[in-house]
A and B are shown apart, each in its own frame.
Chain A
């Protein structure tokens, strides 16, 4: 029997899904977008008269910055084994989301490049495959919703 694939943290992205999306929230009053979803709007100009609603974020964005994390984490988070890549991605909504990058070759990463969401394996143990959200290079002209 194959292992079940589950999100490393619940509530960050839609799963299971053929077209997974990051789960954010949008304020019905001012339109402010947040990730992860929040119970209150964070726009200081908003009157906060209605709570934010769940909003699925765009799947493509622009790489704002990145780093290659060469060290590994310890203890309960030792599944983060370096080197791995972390990036900040600006989405069309305006917000910048921090996430893993699939590409770990520093030379192949450039600020300003297009990237798109990909849900992929972070690690597995005897019971489960743990998934997290990544951004992968989106060159090649493929279109995304």
Chain B
């Protein structure tokens, strides 16, 4: 089986959601060309283009973004290619990670040697509500209408359950989530592509309004407009392109696990006859990725995890490390997730600092791990020696992606 590697990455600066210019397709072109240029490739060199995008117009009401709408084909048309394999990926917040996993599979199976992965999104403001056309005809989609349960309400229930299972007061997880926000904001301030540059104190986060107890406003990411891209190649090609290829040691896609007791986003009910341990779904993709990469949690040097709320960061650390949850709390409270710490987490600043552009936010994480492993992250650069980085993403309805990146030189 061929090995594959990321050879270049690109991001645009993320901006306020709903900004009318530039058009999404133009932003996608801009970031795709930037990634190609860093890889010193022309569109004619590409075997495939994979896009993770939505096509919700900026003036749309707050409808859930689930449509990929042929952006790969439109991008191909814009930059000019010779009949590449064009594929669109739609998996909510996990889309970028899954697009990379598709590229990786194509290279490892030999159907492509050079693949452009590019994503763009312009996410609607406020709570994501199902479109009326869906509401009226799909019973499972009516949960927001019948119950008023928004995405942050699910995250809040997850957070409260974790505190309960650990025998802790709700104030404990509330403070922990505030600490995560404060630390992520330090790195957003250092990232030229991040939308938010303000550094928050723990008190400021705790003083922000409660959205869904115990989640405060500043623990939940804003919605933004942004784009990101990368070029993936087989290792032989990668080594000709760059002396620092970042190897894709594993790329795994996941979905619902029957018996998972924690209600997954936008569902009425979950479970099954025998409920499993909470967050089995999250853990499953990571375990598979470790197996493919031939590593274990102890080998992970740095993490970029998808954080639409700061609870996500906490839970991802639990699941990625697979240790007692107390260990995660200690890691965060001791500041060990900073660039100076023993396990840096979200040195990009995360969606906490970028805001979520739903369909392409995994590109922030891929970009960061690529730069970190190559020692190119400037003031955000982790102090410890890095060899392996993990990217994890979670999307609505239980879409998961886990990418393990490794120094390929």
Taking Cβ atoms with an 8 Å cutoff, the residues of A that contact B are 8-9, 11-12, 24, 30-36, 42-45, 64-71, 73-77, 80, 84, 86-88, 90, 93-100, 106, 111-112, 122, 132-133
Asked if B335 is at the interface of the complex by the 8 Å CB criterion, the answer is no
CB <8 Å contact, B272 and A94: yes
**B residues in contact with A99, CB < 8 Å:** 147
* Nearest opposing residue in chain B for A67, CB measure: B156
Contacts of A68 in B (CB 8 A): 210, 212-213
* Contact between A9 and B149, CB atoms less than 8 A apart: no
Assembly CA distance A52 to B311 (angstroms): 36
Q: Is the CB of B139 within 8 A of A11?
A: yes
A32–B126 contact, CB under 8 A? no
Q: Say yes or no: is B211 at the interface (Cβ < 8 Å to chain A).
A: yes
Q: Say if the beta carbon of B277 comes within 8 Å of chain A.
A: no
Does B271 have its Cβ within 8 Å of any Cβ on chain A?
yes
Say whether B149 contacts A95, CB under 8 Å: no
Give the complex CA separation of A138 and B147 in angstroms: 20
A25 → chain B closest CB, angstroms: 11
User: Of the 9-residue stretches B25-33, B82-90, B261-269, B385-393, which lies at the interface with chain A?
Assistant: B261-269
Measured in the bound complex, the distance between the Cα atoms of B272 and A30 in whole Å is 11
With known contacts A43-B272, A70-B209, A74-B62, A36–B140 Cβ distance under 8 A: yes
Contact between chains at A77 and B213 (CB < 8 Å): no
Interface of B is mostly: mixed
For A100, the chain B residues whose CB sits under 8 A away are 147-148
Question: What is the size category of the interface that chain B forms with chain A?
Answer: 35 or more
Tell me if B146 and A12 are in contact (CB < 8 A).
yes
A residues less than 8 Å from B263 (CB atoms): 88, 96, 98
B275 touches A42 (CB 8 A): no
- B237 proximity list for chain A (CB < 8 A): none
B251-302: which have CB < 8 Å to A?
Answer: 258, 261, 263, 267-275
Q: Does B61 contact A (CB under 8 A)?
A: yes
**A8 / chain B contacts, CB cutoff of 8 Å:** 145-146
Is A73's CB under 8 angstroms from B258's CB?
no
Q: Does B132 lie within 8 Å of A76, measured CB to CB?
A: yes
User: What is the CA–CA distance of A112 and B267 in the complex, to the nearest angstrom?
Assistant: 21
Say yes or no: B164 contacts A65, CB within 8 Å: yes
Q: Are A35 and B148 in contact (CB under 8 A)?
A: no
Which residues of B (115-144) have their CB < 8 Å from a CB of A?
126-127, 129, 132, 139-140, 142-144
